[in-house]
Structure 1
């Protein structure tokens, strides 16, 4: 089952994002190697600076998806103001279908 992980950064926390970016990318690389990660990237503000993240992951259920999301180094560093994990159905342009 697919889940969208929607993360909103805390205001004025770009320094936390940049300090933890290498660990975050390493974590994403691991999820990608496992086949868990389907899509990932930052949301951008008006100045085209990162202000949040969106991941599309595969997990067996809601609890598993939330556990995966909780391992994000950005979240562990206190970057996020809010994280939502929602079941997602990929209808169009899904390369797996």
Structure 2
């Protein structure tokens, strides 16, 4: 297993993002309960979010991102998806 960090950016209006947020957060809670998502949360400036996955590889993280209601409803774009070598924690 490896850690993969994804950055997403909101591309829709705050109202459109807010309309999808409950389904998005329910999806993330399921991933967290299943062990695929370590942590996630929005940037303090409200422009997007960071998600940290524990998965087999970047491909699996990208598949989880594609299945996310935020992606499905087109309110975000994926800025980056990168494997992360954790040194402390994790």
Aligned partner of 2:34 in structure 1 is 34
Alignment TM-score, normalising by the size of structure 1:
0.82
Cα separation, 1, equivalents of 2:55 and 2:15: 30
Rg (Cα) greater in structure: 1
Provide the aligned length of Structure 1 versus Structure 2: 89
Q: 1:14-40 deviations in whole A, cap 9, x for unaligned?
A: 112100111011001100110111110
Contact (CA 8 Å) 1:7, 1:80: kept in 2 or not?
Answer: yes
Structure 1 unaligned residues grouped into runs of 5+: none
Aligned partner of 1:9 in structure 2 is 10
Structure 2 unaligned residues grouped into runs of 5+: none
Alignment TM-score, normalising by the size of structure 2:
0.88
RMSD of equivalent CA atoms = 1.4
Aligned partner of 2:81 in structure 1 is 85
Q: CA deviation at 1:13?
A: 1.7
Moved over 2 A (4+): none
Cα separation, 1, equivalents of 2:32 and 2:25: 10
Cα separation, 2, equivalents of 1:59 and 1:78: 24
Check 1:72–1:9 CA distance in 2 against 1; reply closer, same or farther (3 A cut): same
Match of 1:59 among 55, 58, 70: 55
